[in-house]
Amino acid sequence: MRINNNMSAVITNNQLLGTEDSLADVMEKLSSGFSINHASDNPSGIAIAGKMQAQIEGLAQASTNGSDGISVLQTAEGALNEVTDMIQRMRELSVQAANGTNSLSDKQSIQKEIDSLLEEIDRVARTTEFNNINLLNGGLDNRTYADHATRIQTSNSVPAGIYELKITAAAVQATAGGSAPLFGSAATNILPMSGEILINGYGITLTQGMTKEAVYEALRDACENGSAMISDPDENIAITSIKYGANADLKLEFSSIEFAEVLGFENVELEEITDENGNVIEYGAPVIKKVGVDAKVELMTTGNSMFGPQATVRMDGNHMIVSDTKGFELSFLAEAGFDATTDEDGGGIISFNVTDIGSMTLHVGANKSQNMDVRIAAVTTEFMYIDDLNVTRKNGAEDALDSLDDALSYVTSVRSQLGAYENRLEHTTKSLDATEENMTSAISRIEDADMATTMVEYTKLNVLEQAGTSALAQANELPQLALQLLQ
């Protein structure tokens, strides 16, 4: 029996201290709800949980990013809905203007509303923004760079790279005259005879005694209404179609050959009127008929150029569209008069540098490079080729209908693309939310405390602590027995 070292008390105390430590850990788990409160609790588990928590927080933010992207698309689509309505209204006005019951003043009134709507479309394109980011002016479309070309647009199927084509001959306008000055070789500045001239069906009467300046002004106004242009008054008189290419028709009709010569037009011939077999049955008024010429274009399919061998090009004057398989389309407006004969340095070659820069990149994942690119094409009157609508011109209403039909198709195509983006983002956000939910469930199994099991452990340790305390008290009484030996 020893009193200096009470081994029973030492052993009991050590056990009690261990129980208290374990009980403290259990109580910490119960109070925090986590099974891992310190790295020592589960070294591998805390490493896994840390990475999973980063993923969960990233997924939550990515879902928010996707929702913001949907808001952007809805904002753009709402504006395009109004653009669609304005195009429909202009088409309605063009149908009205095409009716022969309208006078020139009626058409001019119609044109005023069309001009106002065109300005509003451009205003919408210029001012539709989300968080100070312009959505419809082309700033969110992929950038393409080229000299001697404007209004460049590429479909989503055009990969980034270099695309080259050669314009061997530029599109040509229809032109009449150009070989003599106004009034021809007459030495006087006074119109010596009266007569009538029709420019693409729009007619005016010029009376004897009109000054050269008055005649020029009348011809200029007639050209404007007849979809044509007149040369400078100091040059040889020439009338040219506004359009370029094979669709650029020009017809000048005169009251007499002598009157045409007085105005300075040569090579005037009587119009041949033929039957269904092409036989001339009679002759009509003196006319000059001219037709424009389409450009000649060669697509480069070798070297740096990425055009495929099956690519084709179609054109409407200087507006050219290169198409290929799988929705490939590159459209642009070529510089007037640019071709191999006028380009001394480049030989008429236009090189398009198509990039993947410019689109809105939405980060819709928890990790690096988990992105979605959103492209929104420019929806301006210029890019829709309706910036020069004029129903007051001869055949202007019919031309406007064609242009507005194309513009309507263009806008609906952009809206369709926005709808596809929006549907994709909705699925993306749902997927992100589901993944976040599953990840949260997984990390819960690693770091959350099982309250039932932990409570069972707490109860056991609580009983052990009480038993240990009681045993320690008994062990501390043992040295008292030594006093009985001293009695």
Per residue in 42-51, pLDDT tens? 788 778 888 8
Q: Do 135 and 179 belong to one domain?
A: no
pLDDT for 337: 94
- What is the CATH classification number for the domain harbouring 46? 1.20.1330.10
On the question of pLDDT at 430 being above 90, the answer is: yes
Mean pLDDT over all residues of the chain?
90
Top pLDDT among 134 and 23 is at 134
Give yes or no for residue 480 having a pLDDT over 80: no
Residues 183 and 287 placed together within one structural domain of the fold: yes
pLDDT at 1: 59
| Residues 401 and 319 occupy one common structural domain | no
* pLDDT tens track for 276-292: 877 877 888 899 999 99
Instruction: Identify the band that residue 186 occupies on the pLDDT scale cut at 50, 70 and 90.
Output: low
- pLDDT for 146-171, tens place per residue? 999 999 999 999 999 999 999 999 99
Of 311, 329, 357, the residue that ends a domain is 357
| Residue 451 DSSP SS3 | helix
Mean pLDDT lowest for which of 317-321, 338-342, 449-453?
Answer: 449-453
The per-residue pLDDT for 345 is 85
Q: Which of 12-21, 199-208, 360-369, 414-423 has the lowest mean pLDDT?
A: 12-21
- The mean per-residue pLDDT over the stretch 84-94 comes to 97
Q: Is the pLDDT of residue 187 over 60?
A: no
Determine the structural domain holding residue 128 and report its residue range: 34-139+360-448
C-alpha closest to that of 69 among 361, 432, 356, 411: 361
Assign 2 a pLDDT band (cuts: 50, 70, 90). low
Same domain flag for 352 and 420: no
> Sorting pLDDT into bands at 50, 70 and 90, what band is 428?
very high
- 458, part of any domain: no
Question: Bridge partners of 360?
Answer: 374
Residue 232 has pLDDT above 70, yes or no: yes
Is the model more confident about 467 or about 241?
A: 241
Domain annotation covers residue 411 = yes
Evaluate if residue 321 carries a pLDDT over 90: yes
User: How many C-beta neighbours within 10 Å does residue 267 have?
Assistant: 9
In the predicted model, is pLDDT for residue 104 greater than 90?
no
Query: Is residue 435 in some structural domain?
Result: yes
What's the pLDDT at 185?
A: 62
Q: How far apart are CA 391 and CA 429, in angstroms?
A: 48
444, 401: one domain: yes
Query: How far apart (Å, rounded) are the C-alpha atoms in residues 362 and 64?
Result: 11
Q: Give the lowest-confidence range in 47-51, 190-194, 220-224, 399-403.
A: 47-51
Residue 247 tokens read as: 């669709």
- Give the pLDDT score at 206: 95
Verify that 152 and 113 share a domain, yes or no.
no
Q: Which of 253, 229, 126 is nearest to 178 (CA)?
A: 229
Which range, of 83-87, 203-207, 234-238, 327-331, averages the lowest pLDDT?
Answer: 234-238
Same domain, yes or no, for 318 and 353? yes
* Three-state secondary-structure class, residue 382: coil
Looking at the structure of the chain, the number of domains it has is 3
Instruction: Count the helices and strands in the chain (H runs, E runs).
Output: 8, 20
Are residues 225 and 152 part of one domain?
A: no
Tokens linked to 467: 């038993």
- The last residue of one of the domains, among 357, 385, 401, is 357
> Is 372 within the bounds of a domain?
yes
Is 454 a member of any domain?
A: no
Q: Which of 12-16, 114-118, 346-350, 393-397 has the highest mean pLDDT?
A: 114-118
* Same domain flag for 257 and 197: yes
Comparison of pLDDT for 201 and 1, the residue scoring more: 201
pLDDT at 34 over 80: no
Residues 181 and 272 reside in one and the same domain? yes
Window from 76-85, 271-280, 339-348 with minimum mean pLDDT? 271-280
Are the C-beta atoms of residues 250 and 192 closer than 8 Å to each other?
A: no
For CA atoms 9, 12, 17, 18, give the dihedral sign: positive
Whether residue 374 lies inside any domain: the answer is: yes
Least confident segment among 89-103, 214-228, 316-330, 473-487: 473-487
Joined together, the tokens standing for residue 345 give 């340095």
Q: Are strands 360-363 and 269-274 parallel, antiparallel or unpaired?
A: unpaired
In a domain, 482, yes or no: no
User: Does residue 295 sit in helix, strand or coil?
Assistant: coil
Same domain, 256 and 242: yes
> Is residue 410 predicted with pLDDT exceeding 80?
yes
| Dihedral, 136, 422, 158, 311 alpha carbons, nearest 10 | -100
Give the rounded percent of residues in the chain with a pLDDT score beyond 90: 65
Inform me whether the pLDDT recorded for 32 exceeds 80: no
Tell whether 455 is covered by a domain. no
268, 198 in Cβ contact below 8 A?
A: no
438 and 390 share one domain: yes
Helix (H) or strand (E) holding 161: strand 161-169
If you average pLDDT over residues 51-57, what whole number do you get? 89
Average pLDDT over residues 3-29: 79
Mean pLDDT value across residues 141-150: 95
pLDDT reported for residue 292: 94
User: Which of these three, 338, 357, 376, is where a domain ends?
Assistant: 357
pTM: 0.81
Provide the pLDDT for residue 109. Answer: 95
Closest CA to 225 of 116, 137, 108: 108
